[in-house]
Amino acid sequence: MELKLTTADAGDSVVLSAMAKRAKSYWNYPSEWIELWKEDLTLTEEYINSNMVYKAMEPDSNQIIGTCAVEQLSEKEVEIAHFWIEPEFMGKGVGRQLITKALEYAEQQEATRVEVLSDPNAREFYQRFGFRFIGEREGVPKGRFLPVLEKVLFTES
């Protein structure tokens, strides 16, 4: 499926946040956890205006079916964040097109390294695109650990 990929604007905040919640809920996490993550699943207008946020739309309907953000960590490092796909479109190439777009953007910014704090269910997805596991970070709720992965784009000499 060939998608229409564009940058999100502040007006997409509510739609993208609702999609994030549906995507996270797809993995059958307890509803209490989804509530704990409410803030983390929200893409505010300010966030969208401050970061490179892509949206994937179905070409016929222009329905937003995926999103992915690239956050600047440092001058040469970026992080993939808010990577969400509508559950009915998972496994249909939406994620592949979004990650490709995000990595192209990282290269254009001359980032040497891309990091992602992944949901455990998405770890293999990132590894298929050359990300390697480098550790874990404790998340919410306490005692839940999330994989941290990285992809080196360029090495500085």
- Write the CATH number for 70: 3.40.630.30
In a domain, 128, yes or no: no
CA distance 87 to 15: 14
Q: Which domain holds residue 52?
A: 4-110
What is the tens place of the pLDDT at every residue in 130-155?
Answer: 999 999 999 999 999 999 999 999 87
Which residues fall within 8 angstroms of residue 42, CB to CB, at 6 or more apart? Answer: 17, 20
pLDDT of residue 156: 64
Report if residue 122 sits inside a domain.
no
Flag whether 133 is in a domain.
Answer: no
Instruction: Report pLDDT digits (tens) over 15-74.
Output: 999 999 999 999 999 999 999 999 999 999 999 999 999 999 998 899 999 999 999 999
pLDDT number for residue 154: 82
Mean pLDDT, to the nearest integer, of 66-88? Answer: 97
Is 153 a member of any domain?
no
pLDDT value for 132: 98
pLDDT band at 157 (very low <50, low <70, confident <90, very high): low
Q: Is residue 129 included in any domain, yes or no?
A: no
The tally of domains found in the chain comes to 1
| Tokens 């190439």 -> residue | 93
118 within some domain: no
Residue 116 inside a domain? The answer is no
Helix (H, G, I), strand (E, B) or coil at 49: helix
Q: Cα separation of 98 and 11, whole Å?
A: 20
Band (pLDDT 50/70/90 cuts) for residue 2 is confident
Distances (CA, A) of 29 to 8, 26, 98, 116, 140: 27, 8, 24, 20, 12
Answer yes or no: is 89 within a domain.
Answer: yes
